[in-house]
Every structure is written in structure tokens, then in C-alpha cells.
Chains A and B, each alone.
Chain A
Amino acid sequence: EVQLVESGGGLVQPGGSLRLSCVASGFSISAYSMNWVRQAPGKGLEWISFLPSPGTVSPISYADSVKGRFTISRDDATNSLFLQMDSLRVDDTAVYYCARDRCPRVACYNNGLWGQGTLVTVS
């Protein structure tokens, strides 16, 4: 089955760190561009980070709200996407989703496959 499963969320104090994981199954994560998107309680969706596939020209990108604090990465051996979150703030509290670009090899910049999300609470 083609799916994404996030993990690593939890309760962390302000200023702390957390590393989110997203394990892909049914496809090779190295063939797709990947994103992290979050949704704070009662709020809308917020895109936070993009990791290009090897065939995509665009660089790694971050939303201004997380730039310099969050780092996106990928491990092809474990078919996993990561989000290292440092210097966490109360307003980083959200459900974090990993999402796969709709198109393999070269990004289309819209996401056709999403995980179920993992909750991060900063308090």
C-alpha cells in the first residue's frame, strides 16, 4: 500500500527540540519532492518546508516562520523524510503532515499523498 506514516510528535518545552519522521511505503521517497505542512489548533493549513527530488531545480525551501530553526532531510536507505525542529516556540504547536508531490522525478508543487499527521505540543 502506498502511504506515509509520521511519528515523533509529543510534548516539548519552549526552546526544546524534536525530530519528526515520515516513513514511506509502496514507493521510493527519493523519486519525489516532499513537503511538511502543519495545522495549528483551530487554524488553517500552513506550508513549512520543501525538499526537492534530484530532478527538480528548486532548492530546499522553508517558510519564514521556521527558517533557521527547522531542517528538512531525507534518508533513502530507510525511505524516510525528517523534520528536525529546534528552538521550538509555543506557536509551533500543531499537527504536522508530511506530503508527497503529485509528480515523480520533477516536482509539480502540489501534493497528492499525505500522512495522517503527528501532533507537536510546545508548552
Chain B
Amino acid sequence: QVQLVQSGAEVKKPGASVKVSCKASGYTFTSYGISWVRQAPGQGLEWMGWISAYNGNTNYAQKLQGRVTMTTDTSTSTAYMELRSLRSDDTAVYYCARGQRWLVYWGQGTLVTVSS
């Protein structure tokens, strides 16, 4: 069965960076891209970007351009999302999901807390 397992919760100080991992199993990793979506506490879903696991092509939300980098490691079927220059409003649960358009399979979410 398809599974996406994300890394654990993180606490970071403003200005730091965080890298969240998303390990995929149960399907051919390079056949699908990985999308990243975040959700601030009590708020809605925010689309962050997408990476092709086939060729590494990316699309990022404009508001995150320059601060976010999405990568994949096909040898371990793992996707990564790195966010730099963290601010308090980056505090959120970060989800990975398989695919680019509609998202059927999701990771369990990773809480990233940015606090001094």
C-alpha cells in the first residue's frame, strides 16, 4: 500500500532553516511527483509547491520563492522540503502528498514551530 512517512516535529528559531523529509513506499517513486502543502494553526491549506520525482523539475508558490527548495533522492524514495529564513508565520503543519493535481495519498504531517 502507498505510504508517505514524514520526519518528526521541529522547533526552530527565527532566521534558521528546516528540512522536512517524506519517505515514500508502495509505488514506483519516479512515476509521481510530490506536492507540499502547509497549514498554519487553525488555518486553511496552503499549496507550497511541487517536484517531479522523475526529473527534479519544480514549481514553487511565488510567496516562497527564494526561501524554499524541494528535492528528491530516488535511491531512497525520499522527498525533501527545505525552508530557510524562518519566520514566526512559518509555524505550521507541513504535509507531503503524492501527485501534482489531485492529491490522494498524504503524509501524516510535520509540525514546524518557529519561536525565539
Whether A associates with B in a native complex is no
Which residues of B line the A interface, CB within 8 A? none
